[in-house]
Structure 1
Amino acid sequence: MQLEFLGTGAGSPSKQRNVTSVALRLLEERNAIWLFDVGEATQHQILYTTIRPRKIEKIFITHLHGDHIFGLPGLLSSRSFQGGNEPLTIYGPVGIKRFVQTALQVSESRLSYPLHFVEIDHEGEIFRDQGFTVYAKKLDHKITCYGYRIVEHDHPGELQVDKLRAMNVPSGPVYGQLKAGKTVKLADGRALNGQDFIGPSQPGRIVAILGDTRQTKNAVWLARDANVLVHESTFGKDEAKLAHNYYHSTSKQAAEVAKKAGAKRLFLTHISARYAGKAAYQLAYQVRNYFPATRVVNDLDVFDIPFNKQGERNGE
């Protein structure tokens, strides 16, 4: 599991930063990519990565401001030209379906794959399968805006093969039965319970990706015990009044959310063009006394999201 930042700027693109888009790379987990927001020129940013548009399985839109959605029509069309034929689902506030369908209809674009929409009209669980659950909560922005909490389910424990070999248990189909937790009777009469030979489960990882927002308790809920919190930082530490007036957050407010939630790492994004070069990094430096594991991200940064250490669960 990795996070790759395709755009980290706020409002409009600059020479240093494109507008918002984040890729959650789940290539090992499900051979797929999930995108969160698709600002203008996201498909251009993808050209500088190893991401293949046909691998994009889901797109989650936080809100309908242009710097978060204007890249959608072009990306969806290009996915057809680049061999995409698997279904793609777009999640987002009510209105995202009309925006995309209107753009495709007016431009007479034809997609080579089924396109599905899930317009969010409630808070809570919006997706679940055997590997992941995704939750959405409303944030506090000028228009309807959501944050997303992606929860990877726990991985089953590994079969303790060394323990079986030490007991002279022959390899073969019996190992598969024990791995499934079944009780197996061996040829020599011994009965083995598979549960006795399975190691502890590996806790899944949690990623919280927030849209534009003022301070809100829902941000803390979304980030609770997260391995990574991606939070906007449109304004600096001492600009709380400006942030409130424009429905955004300061770097300090983002750090406070991470601390209250017990998150492990905080990535600051949605950086205003006013903060160029070294000034952008100051957004992180000025709040590390509140939350040390804070980093300002740049376009095309890639970060691994490791599993918790053995025996460590989220929240510990």
Structure 2
Amino acid sequence: MEIQFLGTGAGSPSKSRNVSSLALKLLDERNEVWLFDAGEGTQHQILQTAIRPRKIAKVFITHLHGDHIFGLPGFLASRSNQGGTDPLTIYGPSGIEDFVKTSLKVSQSHLSYPLKFVLLQHPGVAFEDQTFKVTFDRLDHRITSFGFRIEEKPHPGELLIDKVRAAKIPSGPVYAALKAGETVTLPDGRIFAGHDFIGPAQPGRTVAIFGDTRMCNRALPLAAGADVLVHESTFGPDESQLAKQYYHATNVQAAALAKRAGVGRLLLNHISARYLSPGVAMLEKTARQIFPNTHVVKDFEEINIPFRSEQSEPAVTVKS
């Protein structure tokens, strides 16, 4: 599981940051990529990565401001032009279906794949299957803006091969049966229960991805205990009044939420073009004074999300 940031800027693109979009890469888990927001130029950003548009199976839209959706029609059309045939589902606030369908109709764009819309209204579950659950709630912005909580289901425990061998169970299909938790009877009459040879389940990982918001109580349950929280940082530490006025958050407010929620790591994005390199360093430094494991991300940066037992490994790689 990895997050690759395609756009980390706020409002308008700049020379160093495109507008909002990130890809949650679930290639090992389900051979899919999920896109969160699609600001203008998202398809151009994807061209600079190894992401294949046909692998993008779901698009989650946090809210309908232009810097989060203007790139969506172009991406959908290009996915079709590049031979995409697998279905794609778009999750988002009321109005996203009208925006997409009108854009495609006016431009006479015809897709080669089925397009499904799931309009999010009352807080709850947006998607769930055997491997993942995605819940959402409304945050506090000038228009409806959602935060998403992506929870990976636990992974079954591994077969304890040393224990199997110690029991002198011969190799073969019986190993698969034991791993599946079945009870097996050997030719010599011995009976073994699979659950006796399976290690503990591996807890899944949790990622919280927020749209634009100022501080609100509904953010806490979405972020609680997450391995990674992606949060906007439109304003700096001394701009709390401006952040409140414009329905955004400061870096230190995001850090305070991360600390309170007990997250593993805070990733700050939606950075104003007012903050150049020294300003970005300041945002990170002042946020770390509250929540040390904070990082201000940049375009194309990839963040690996390891299992908790592996979190001593490096978690950040930067595209060369």
TM-score (norm 2): 0.96
Instruction: For 2:218 and 2:205, locate their aligned partners in 1 and report how far apart those are by CA, in whole Å.
Output: 19
2:103 counterpart residue number: 103
Query: Deviation of residue 156 (structure 1)?
Result: 0.1
| AA partner of residue 76 (structure 2) | L
Instruction: For 1:53 and 1:179, locate their aligned partners in 2 and report how far apart those are by CA, in whole Å.
Output: 35
1:215 counterpart residue number: 215
2:62 counterpart residue number: 62
**3-state SS of paired residue (2:111):** coil
Query: Deviation of residue 221 (structure 1)?
Result: 1.0
1:191 counterpart residue number: 191
**3-state SS of paired residue (2:67):** helix
2:30 counterpart residue number: 30
Aligned pairs for 1:267-306 within 5 A: 267-306=267-306
2:264 counterpart residue number: 264
Query: Deviation of residue 188 (structure 1)?
Result: 2.1
Instruction: For 2:73 and 2:194, locate their aligned partners in 1 and report how far apart those are by CA, in whole Å.
Output: 51
1:165 counterpart residue number: 165
2:255 counterpart residue number: 255
Instruction: For 1:278 and 1:298, locate their aligned partners in 2 and report how far apart those are by CA, in whole Å.
Output: 14
| AA partner of residue 189 (structure 2) | G
1:314 counterpart residue number: none
Deviations 1:163-193 (CA, angstroms, capped at 9, x unpaired)? 1112210011211221121222222222111
Taking only aligned residues, the RMSD between alpha carbons, in angstroms, comes to 1.1
Query: Deviation of residue 32 (structure 1)?
Result: 0.8
Q: Mind listing any 5+ residue stretches in structure 2 that lack a counterpart? A: 311-320
1:121 counterpart residue number: 121
Instruction: For 2:193 and 2:94, locate their aligned partners in 1 and report how far apart those are by CA, in whole Å.
Output: 51
Instruction: For 1:32 and 1:82, locate their aligned partners in 2 and report how far apart those are by CA, in whole Å.
Output: 17
2:47 counterpart residue number: 47
Query: Deviation of residue 308 (structure 1)?
Result: 0.8
Deviations 1:213-258 (CA, angstroms, capped at 9, x unpaired)? 0101121111111110000000001111000000000001100111
Query: Deviation of residue 101 (structure 1)?
Result: 0.2
Deviations 1:106-129 (CA, angstroms, capped at 9, x unpaired)? 000000000000010110111001
1:229 counterpart residue number: 229
Deviations 1:81-106 (CA, angstroms, capped at 9, x unpaired)? 11210000000000000000000000
1:9 counterpart residue number: 9
Number of paired residues? Answer: 311
Instruction: For 2:143 and 2:85, locate their aligned partners in 1 and report how far apart those are by CA, in whole Å.
Output: 33
Give 4+ residue runs of structure 1 displaced > 2 Å after superposition.
Answer: none
1:152 counterpart residue number: 152
Query: Deviation of residue 277 (structure 1)?
Result: 1.6
1:313 counterpart residue number: none
**3-state SS of paired residue (1:309):** helix
1:132 counterpart residue number: 132
Q: Does 1:84 align with 2:84?
A: yes
1:112 counterpart residue number: 112
| AA partner of residue 265 (structure 1) | R
Instruction: For 1:181 and 1:252, locate their aligned partners in 2 and report how far apart those are by CA, in whole Å.
Output: 48
| AA partner of residue 41 (structure 2) | A
Larger mean Cα displacement after TM superposition, 166-175 or 260-269: 166-175
Instruction: For 2:235 and 2:4, locate their aligned partners in 1 and report how far apart those are by CA, in whole Å.
Output: 22
Deviations 1:241-294 (CA, angstroms, capped at 9, x unpaired)? 000000000001100111111100000000011101221121110121210000
